[in-house]
Amino acid sequence: MTTIPGGSGLADTLTAEGRAVEAALERSLDALLPLLPEGLRPPVRHGVLTGGKRLRPILAVTAFRACGGREPTSIPDTPGGAGDGIGEGDGRLHDLAVSLELIHAYSLMHDDLPCMDDAALRRGRDTPHTLFGEGSTATAGAALIPAAGLYLLWSARAMGVPETDVRELLRILARAAGGGGMVGGQALDLEGEGRSLGREELDGLHRRKTGALLEASLELGAVAAGADAPLRTAMTRYGRAIGLAFQIADDILDATATREVLGKAPSDAALHKSTYVALLGVEGARAEARSQVDLALEALQAADLRLPAASVLEELARFVVERDR
- Comparing CB distances to ligand GRG, the nearer of 61 and 305 is 61
Q: Hey, is 121 helix, strand or coil? A: strand
Least Å distance, CB 103 to ligand GRG, is 9
Integer Cα distance of 47 and 139 in angstroms = 12
State the minimum distance, in angstroms, from the CB of residue 22 to ligand GRG: 12
**d(Cα 33, Cα 18) in Å, to the nearest integer?**
22
Question: Shortest distance, CB of residue 247 to ligand GRG, whole angstroms?
Answer: 6
Of 52 and 68, which CB lies nearer to ligand GRG in the complex structure? 52
Sign of CA dihedral 180, 183, 188, 191: negative
Q: Whose CB is nearest to ligand GRG?
A: 52
Of the two residues 61 and 159, which places its CB atom closer to ligand GRG in the complex? 61
**Smallest separation, CB 50 to ligand GRG (Å):** 9
Dist CA 193 CA 186 (whole Å): 11
Angle, helices 212-224/55-66, rounded to nearest 10 degrees: 40
Q: Which is nearer to ligand GRG, 116 or 297 (CB)?
A: 116
Rounded to an integer, what distance in angstroms lies between the CA atom of residue 58 and that of residue 10?
A: 12
Identity of the residue, 161 or 197, whose beta carbon is nearer to ligand GRG in the bound complex: 197
Q: How far is the CB of 73 from ligand GRG (least distance, A)?
A: 29
For residue 308, say if its preceding peptide bond is cis, omega within 30 degrees of 0.
Answer: yes
Q: d(Cα 4, Cα 95) in Å, to the nearest integer?
A: 25
Closest approach of Cβ 110 to ligand GRG, in Å? 4
The DSSP H or E segment spanning 164 is helix 163-177
Nearest CB to ligand GRG, comparing residues 168 and 268: 268
Instruction: Report how far residue 190's alpha carbon sits from residue 86's, in angstroms, rounded to the nearest whole number.
Output: 43
CA separation, residue 290 to residues 4, 35, 209, 284 (Å): 17, 45, 20, 10
Site of interaction with ligand GRG (CB under 6 A)? 52-53, 55, 107-108, 110-111, 116, 123, 182-183, 186, 209-210, 250
Give the residue among 188, 40, 50 at the shortest CA–CA distance from 121. 50
| Least separation in angstroms between CB 104 and ligand GRG | 6
Under 8 Å between Cβ of 138 and 110: yes
Q: Which of 140, 183 has the CB closer to ligand GRG?
A: 183
Q: Which of 16, 302 has the CB closer to ligand GRG?
A: 16
The full length of the chain comes to 325
Shortest Cβ 210–ligand GRG spacing (Å): 4
